[in-house]
């Protein structure tokens, strides 16, 4: 068209292999020595290190030019071998080894990603997915790659929040399954299961931001009539210009996953209603132990298709049923506030679940289950400091403890069983480090 286009090519430079690529091969295995090697590698932008069959990843907190399609092809050609003479440790190598093992053994495999909040688990999950999708073919590859991008967009705005160490910290556990055709290990579909959504994040508070979708809605121009602009923490709201672009991307992704224009409008209205519901305030009135809504305008806007009087009654009245009779009792403002929060969080959790169902419909494969094997990726939120620990944090910590115990069992006892099967030698099982008595006791109670 007569215009000049300047193209900048960034050369991918992988670090050369080094003796410290696998820490288990070091002559001296001490805590100080291991930390020294990891720190030295981190200073050289070598963020990946093997520890036997485990890949240790350190978040560089910057962009590294080591995730291009060219790098992915290099590890695919090397078949993920750790002993490849010219390729250093990489998440692509682990993904490629999983592909080779799944094709050879014809049995499911799972990646378990664990670490503190902000350590890069979700990013590692996306890099694994990136490499696995190179094994899709033709139009199917383009469709799957596009669909997963739209799913990631939805998960980011509906299930992640920023914190002090991470701009996108997951607030739910996710198990992603990639379906690989048995005959040639080509990816033909996917399936996503989510657990333990931190629904309390709906309630924005000082030091705890809410989900980005609410920030997008609250800062978008034209929503002042819903009184959303000044109802939340302004520091959590994006700029109006960024919100327009971000909300447009969300709508595009929703449409790509199969949501109709009418359903998309209903979804956004529901989200606005949930957000406004969290802003309704109550005040105690006479007689004692009763309350009423002190912000009737917000109540009217949040009610949507429900009569506002019915919503107020549901939030301020306790109903007890006994032998066919109903007893009504008005509650105080503190109880009404708790019920308001529970309703908002429950509505959001159900909405999130519907979006996951929508994603699975877009990712589904029509092939018979006998025709494919599975590579799974389990991504669990890392431990982070919060002002108030609640039931959600307890469940996340218990899950982290159990996964850690499972990893140790596979690392030690799994190896022992392999030796017994190969050499026919009976071995005494090693005692696993750590104490699982406390998590086990809590699990028996709950």
CB 352 within 8 A of CB 194: yes
CB 119 within 8 A of CB 57: yes
What mean pLDDT do residues 52-77 have? 89
**Annotated binding residue at 365?**
no
Mean pLDDT of the chain: 82
Query: pLDDT tens, 399-441?
Result: 888 888 887 777 666 555 555 555 666 656 666 666 677 777 8
CB 400 within 8 A of CB 197: no
Give domain limits for the chain: 282-343, 393-446
Q: Which residues face 318 on adjacent strands? A: 329
DSSP character string of 3-35 = -----PPPPP-PPPP-GGGBGGG-S---HHHHH
Contacts of 114 by beta carbon, 8 Å cutoff, 6+ apart: 121, 380, 382, 400, 403, 404, 407
What mean pLDDT do residues 222-247 have? 44
Query: pLDDT tens, 287-332?
Result: 777 888 998 889 999 998 899 999 999 999 998 888 778 888 888 9
**Annotated binding residue at 117?**
yes
pLDDT of residue 221: 41
What mean pLDDT do residues 58-78 have? 89
**Of 133-137, 354-358, 363-367, the least confident:** 133-137
- CA-CA distances (angstroms) from residue 427 to 82, 132, 431, 434? 28, 37, 12, 21
CA distance 172 to 197: 4
Tokens standing for residue 25: 């091969």
Query: pLDDT tens, 143-192?
Result: 899 999 999 999 999 998 877 666 778 889 999 999 999 888 889 999 99
**Annotated binding residue at 417?**
no
CA contacts within 13 A on the Cβ side of 70: 8
Q: Which residues face 321 on adjacent strands? A: 326
Cα 204–Cα 210–Cα 214 angle in degrees, nearest 5: 105
pLDDT of residue 224: 40
Percent share of the chain, pLDDT over 90: 38
CB 64 within 8 A of CB 45: yes
pTM given for the model? 0.83
**Annotated binding residue at 120?**
yes
pLDDT of residue 122: 87
**Annotated binding residue at 118?**
yes
- CA-CA distances (angstroms) from residue 68 to 12, 44, 127, 221, 247? 8, 19, 10, 37, 28
Q: Are strands 169-170 and 160-161 parallel, antiparallel or unpaired?
A: antiparallel
**Annotated binding residue at 119?**
yes
pLDDT of residue 385: 67
Query: pLDDT tens, 15-44?
Result: 777 888 988 888 888 889 889 999 999 999
**Annotated binding residue at 43?**
no
**Annotated binding residue at 12?**
no
CA distance 255 to 154: 11
């Amino acid at each position: 068209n007569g215009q000049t286009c300047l193209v900048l090519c960034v050369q991918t430079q992988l670090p050369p292999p080094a003796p410290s690529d696998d820490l288990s091969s070091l002559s001296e295995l001490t805590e100080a020595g291991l930390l020294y090697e990891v720190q030295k590698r981190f200073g050289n932008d070598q963020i990946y290190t093997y520890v036997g069959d485990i890949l240790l990843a350190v978040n560089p907190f910057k962009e590294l030019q080591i995730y291009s399609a060219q790098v992915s092809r290099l590890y695919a050609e090397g078949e993920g071998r750790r002993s490849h003479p010219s390729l250093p440790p990489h998440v692509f190598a682990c993904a490629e080894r999983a592909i080779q093992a799944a094709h050879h053994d014809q049995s499911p495999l799972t990646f378990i990603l664990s670490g503190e909040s902000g350590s890069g688990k979700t990013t590692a999950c996306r890099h694994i997915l990136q490499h696995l999708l190179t094994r899709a073919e033709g139009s199917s590859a383009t469709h799957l790659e596009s669909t997963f991008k739209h799913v990631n967009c939805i998960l980011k705005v509906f299930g992640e929040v920023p914190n002090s160490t991470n701009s996108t910290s997951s607030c739910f556990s996710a198990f992603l399954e990639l379906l690989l055709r048995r005959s040639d290990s080509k990816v033909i579909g996917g399936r996503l299961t989510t657990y333990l959504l931190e629904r309390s994040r709906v309630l924005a508070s000082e030091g705890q931001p809410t989900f980005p979708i609410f920030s997008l809605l609250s800062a978008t121009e034209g929503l002042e009539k819903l009184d959303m602009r000044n109802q939340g923490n302004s520091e959590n709201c994006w700029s109006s210009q960024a919100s327009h672009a971000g909300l447009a991307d969300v709508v595009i992704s929703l449409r790509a996953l199969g949501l109709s224009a009418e359903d998309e409008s209903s979804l956004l209205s529901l989200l606005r209603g949930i957000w406004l519901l969290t802003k309704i305030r109550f005040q105690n009135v006479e007689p004692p132990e009763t309350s009423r809504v002190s912000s009737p305008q917000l109540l009217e806007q949040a009610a949507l298709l429900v009569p506002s009087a019915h919503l107020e009654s549901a939030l301020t009245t306790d109903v007890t049923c006994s032998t066919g009779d109903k007893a009504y009792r008005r509650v105080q403002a503190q109880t009404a506030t708790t019920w308001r929060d529970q309703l908002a969080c429950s509505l959001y959790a159900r909405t999130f679940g519907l979006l996951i169902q929508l994603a699975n419909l877009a990712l589904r494969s029509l092939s018979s289950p006998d025709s494919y094997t599975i590579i799974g990726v389990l991504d669990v939120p890392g431990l982070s400091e919060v002002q108030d620990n609640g039931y959600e944090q307890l469940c996340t910590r218990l899950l982290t403890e159990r996964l850690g115990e499972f990893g140790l069992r596979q690392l030690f006892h799994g190896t022992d069983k392999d030796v017994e099967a190969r050499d026919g030698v009976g071995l005494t099982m090693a005692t696993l480090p750590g104490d699982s008595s406390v998590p086990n006791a809590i699990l028996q109670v709950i």
